[in-house]
C-alpha cells in the first residue's frame, strides 16, 4: 500500500462533514471513515467539525472499486475504528441519560449506536466477509443487528458509477 501523506489542508466551512470531504477530495464519500481515522487525533467525534477547523487531506487509499487486499484491510479497520468511536459515544450518552433521566441524552445515545450499526453495514460494501473477519472487535449485539440489516436489505453495493474517475 502506498505511504499515506498529507497532500492538502482543508479549512472547514459551514456544513462540511467527513462524508462530504471524502467525496470532494477523493471522489467517493463512502470512504469517509478512512479520512476521519486519519484525523481522529484532532477530532474526538466524527460528527462535530466546526467552521475554521483544519482537516488534513491525505492521498487516497486507492480506487474503492479496485482496492488491493492491504487497502481493503485498512479501509475495513477504519470502519471498525470509527464504529468503536460511535459505540463509545453512544454508550456514554445513554448511560448518562439513564442515570439522570435526561431523555435528550438517551435519544442522542441511541442515535450514536444506530450510526455505529449503519457504519458496519456500510463496510460490507468493501468485503462481504467483513463482519466475520472483524467479529472479535465488534460487540455481539451489534453483529446481530447488522446481520439483521443484511438479511432485510441485502449487501450495499459499491456503486462504482459514483466514483469519480
Q: What is the CATH number of the domain that holds 30?
A: 3.10.350.10
- Asked whether 25 and 10 are in contact (CB, 8 A), the reply is yes
Domain check: are 135 and 111 in the same one?
A: yes
Residues 124-142 pLDDT 10s: 999 999 999 999 999 999 9
Domain check: are 53 and 74 in the same one?
A: no
d(CA 154, CA 8): 37
Domain check: are 39 and 73 in the same one?
A: no
d(CA 54, CA 72): 27
Residues 90-104 pLDDT 10s: 999 999 999 999 999
- pTM check: above 0.85: yes
On whether residue 1 sits in a domain, the answer given is: no
Q: What is the dihedral of CA 141, 138, 21, 158, to 10 degrees?
A: -80
> 3-class DSSP state for residue 6?
strand
> 51: part of which helix (H) or strand (E)?
none
Domain check: are 81 and 152 in the same one?
A: yes
Amino acid at each position: 500500500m502506498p505511504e499515506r501523506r498529507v497532500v492538502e489542508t482543508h479549512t472547514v466551512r459551514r456544513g462540511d462533514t467527513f462524508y462530504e470531504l471524502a467525496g470532494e477530495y477523493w471522489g467517493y464519500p463512502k470512504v469517509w471513515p478512512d479520512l476521519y481515522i486519519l484525523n481522529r487525533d484532532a477530532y474526538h467525534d466524527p460528527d462535530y467539525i466546526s467552521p475554521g477547523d483544519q482537516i488534513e487531506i491525505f492521498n487516497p487509499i486507492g480506487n474503492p472499486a479496485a482496492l488491493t487486499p492491504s487497502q481493503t484491510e485498512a479501509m475495513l479497520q477504519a470502519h471498525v475504528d470509527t464504529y468503536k468511536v460511535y459505540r463509545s459515544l453512544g454508550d456514554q450518552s445513554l448511560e448518562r441519560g439513564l442515570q439522570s433521566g435526561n431523555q435528550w441524552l438517551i435519544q442522542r445515545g441511541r442515535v450514536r449506536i444506530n450510526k455505529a450499526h449503519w457504519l458496519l453495514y456500510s463496510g460490507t460494501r468493501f468485503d462481504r466477509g467483513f463482519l466475520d473477519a472483524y467479529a472479535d472487535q465488534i460487540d455481539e449485539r451489534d453483529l446481530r443487528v447488522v446481520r439483521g440489516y443484511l438479511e432485510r436489505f441485502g449487501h450495499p453495493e459499491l456503486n462504482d458509477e459514483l466514483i469519480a474517475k
